[in-house]
Amino acid sequence: MTQTVMKIEDLHLSFPVSRSLLDMVQRKPGKSVNALNGVTLELLQGETLGVVGESGCGKSTLARCIVRLYPPTSGQIHFDDQDIFDEKARKDRTYNRRVQMMFQDPYSSLNPRMTTGDILTEALRVHEMRPEAEIASRVAELLELVRLPQDAAEKLPHEFSGGQRQRIAIARALAVEPEVLIADELVSALDVSVQAQVVNLLLELQERLHLTILFVAHDLRLVRHVSNRVAVIYLGRIVEIGDSETLFSSPSHPYSQALLSAAPSLDPDDKGAAIQLEGELPSPLNVPPGCPFHVRCRHVTAQCRTVIPELRALEGRGEVACHHSEEINQYA
């Protein structure tokens, strides 16, 4: 029986949009970007949970909430049965040690004025991971772990390629011996062959160190490859979540179906049957009432326009947030 390490409940987050002077004069109401609209999620011990969705759907916002970079507007995140946004828990920096995040942009995520050695030493020292005398050898060990040459310790970030910088970021996260890793588009900025190297490293380290990973990416093939389970997000809500292979081979939610069918196949003869999405593109500025996908959905009914579908388990599949999953998937 796998254990739940993190429990996210009904997480909402909206960013207020700064109003222009004209808006204020015209007394228009303040708008807000509703980045997360009720995300409920469990992270299981030792798994990789993939998170996919179109850009702006709230993937990074969710990742940043989990590591407490953004406080949610409402909802809770429990880690080890402790509410992480609780006043007392907030002061507790061991959470930051146990849950680590890696960022998308290999060029801005490392302090340009610190050498690799400084970066790793700092992490080890602040969290007192090793006695002072053992820090140097631990740095060497970490470099070894992410397969960077030992002389990397004296070098500044600009002397490394993008793939190597992401390895430094991984080493920094691993320095504090975390239990959960949040990888936000970790390899998106890298070339395919370098992507493969970093993904291999991540999979191997997960095995070795029993890490739980939340893998956020927009590359569907990659997510399918690394994940045990996958969550599909649309406009700040999970519309489908379930076992990776099942979800990718037979997606149940109309949006997942459209998303997966749009990924180009490597086989020139497999033209697929891309489901073209109609209608307005989603904007988190005004999330449609009812099912957020209804403006683009082929199966829309009157009920969809008013009632928000809840995530519910579907026979032989994962959980789906759609009123008509049964009918839709009958013929699929």
Contact positions vs ligand ADP (CB under 6 A): 15, 33, 35, 53, 55-61, 284
Residues 55-94 binding Mg ion (CB under 5 A) are 60
* Pairing status of strand 74-79 against strand 4-16: antiparallel
CB distance 180 to 99 below 8 Å: yes
Residue 263 interacting with another protein (CB under 8 A): yes
Q: Which residues fall within 8 angstroms of residue 216, CB to CB, at 6 or more apart? A: 50, 51, 59, 60, 62, 63, 182, 183, 184, 185
Figure out which of the listed residues 11, 36, 67, 304 binds another protein, where binding follows CB under 8 A.
Answer: 67
N-terminal to C-terminal alpha carbon distance within the chain: 32
Please tell me whether residue 300 binds ligand SF4 under the rule CB under 6 A: yes
CA-to-CA dists, residue 33 to 13, 14, 73, 165, angstroms: 8, 5, 12, 32
Q: Specify the residue, 79 or 160, whose C-beta has the smaller distance to another protein.
A: 160
Nearer to another protein, 40 or 218 (CB): 218
Number of residues that bind another protein (CB under 8 A): 85
In this complex, which beta carbon is closest to another protein, that of residue 9 or of residue 54?
A: 54
Nearer to another protein, 222 or 235 (CB): 222
Using the contact rule CB under 8 A, the part of the chain among 28-36, 208-216, 257-265, 316-324 near another protein is 257-265
Interaction partner, residue 323 (ligand SF4, ligand ADP, another protein, none; CB < 5-8 Å by kind): ligand SF4
- Rounded Cα gap, residues 321 and 129, in angstroms: 43
Judged by CB under 6 A, which of 172, 224, 229, 294 binds ligand SF4?
294
Q: Give the C-alpha separation, 297 to 295, whole Å.
A: 6
Structure tokens of 316? 């032989």
Give the binding site for ligand SF4 (CB under 6 A).
254, 291, 293-294, 297, 299-300, 304, 309, 322-324
